[in-house]
Amino acid sequence: MEHLHIPDNHMYFVPGNHDADWTFYDENDSTGIKWAQRYVALKSPLFLFKEINNRVGSEGCLFENNYFKLWENEELVVLGYNSSSRDSKEKKIHCGEIVQEHLVEINAVLKSHHLTDDNRVKVCVVHHHLRNFPLPKPSNRDYSIAVNAEGLLDLLGEYKFDFLVHGHRHHSYFSSHSHPVPILAAGSFSVSLGTELEGLTSNQFHLIEIEKNENSKVVGVVKSWSHNALGWRKSEECKSTKCLGHLRPFGYTLSDTVIAKKIAESIRQIWKEGKQCFFLRQDVMQICEEVKFLRELPSEIYDWCKEKLCRELGLDIKMCDDGDIIFISKEAV
């Protein structure tokens, strides 16, 4: 997390079905003592998990009782739920479960914190997926969606959560339309994908940028990187896989082309007024802040300027190698 400049106190997690030590499972142990030890590694002071779970000002516990955690700071509310709390090596399909009794307790805590009308960004993190989505091989079927998934989704909708992140499935997917809460299936960061998924997906990590205005309108972008033989690269460079592309905007309704056209027309007006002949990215942001949601920031604007402006104004347009600068020159005049 150091490379992403994320401090430890901004880190959150939830356990998955591979994070419990199932060797503690003993069907003859009626006391449940041995089974309670399955998270002994995550509770060790050697790792950050214990510190995150016990963070001051948070509520709940991911390893026992109702298996959820509520973290809060000035800008963010994070609800973590351990959907693997009832999983074991005896279960053939590790689908996880949203336990109804746990939801009752979560509801009581969220209600006591008055989160329905809270304008902070609210994110839920859970291991198992709550909605089915396309598999890399369309002919395959998936049976591992969490039991009682709709129960948690309904609760998130009631308290106006803004984003849901889950793992479990080893390939990524993003949907901001199938449910009021945008859902990111994060895929996997470092799993050995095996022959079943070879060439169809890759390990990824994501950076989610979310903004929330005074009217509780949420907009943002999911940025993704994929790993291949050349190392970590922007996912758009890994088009042979069905992973997420590098930029996936959400919450904004204008298309890339409409935003680009709006920017191009603003540049046209500025040029006619003789104010400047080149535009840095921050200049474009001042013209139209929605530009941050363009999937292809340089190319969309470049194409529109070249098609709509150069012929009319007799200009030549160039884009620098870094892609962040649009340069309009009078060389063609």
CA dist., res. 60 & res. 80, Å (int): 10
pLDDT at 333: 38
**Could you say which architecture CATH assigns to the domain 256-329?**
Orthogonal Bundle (1.10)
State both tokens at 38: 């399955």
Burial code (b: 16+ CB inside 10 Å, e: under 16) for 135-154 equals bbeeeeeeeebbebbebbbe
Which CATH number, 1.20.1090.10, 3.40.710.10, 3.30.750.180, 3.30.70.330, labels domain 8-250? 3.30.750.180
Q: Is the separation of the CB atoms in 87 and 94 below 8 Å?
A: yes
pLDDT tens digits for range 37-81? 899 999 999 999 999 999 988 999 999 989 999 999 988 999 999
> What amino acid is encoded at 2 in this protein?
E
pLDDT per residue over 34-48, tens digit each?
A: 888 899 999 999 999
Q: What is the pLDDT of residue 331?
A: 45
Q: Which amino acid is at 247?
A: L
Going from N- to C-terminal start, the domains of the chain cover: 8-250, 256-329
What sign does the CA torsion over 233, 239, 245, 246 have? positive
Q: Do domains 8-250 and 256-329 have the same CATH topology?
A: no
- The structure tokens 């790993």 sit at 227
- Choice between 185 and 23, residue whose per-residue pLDDT is larger: 185
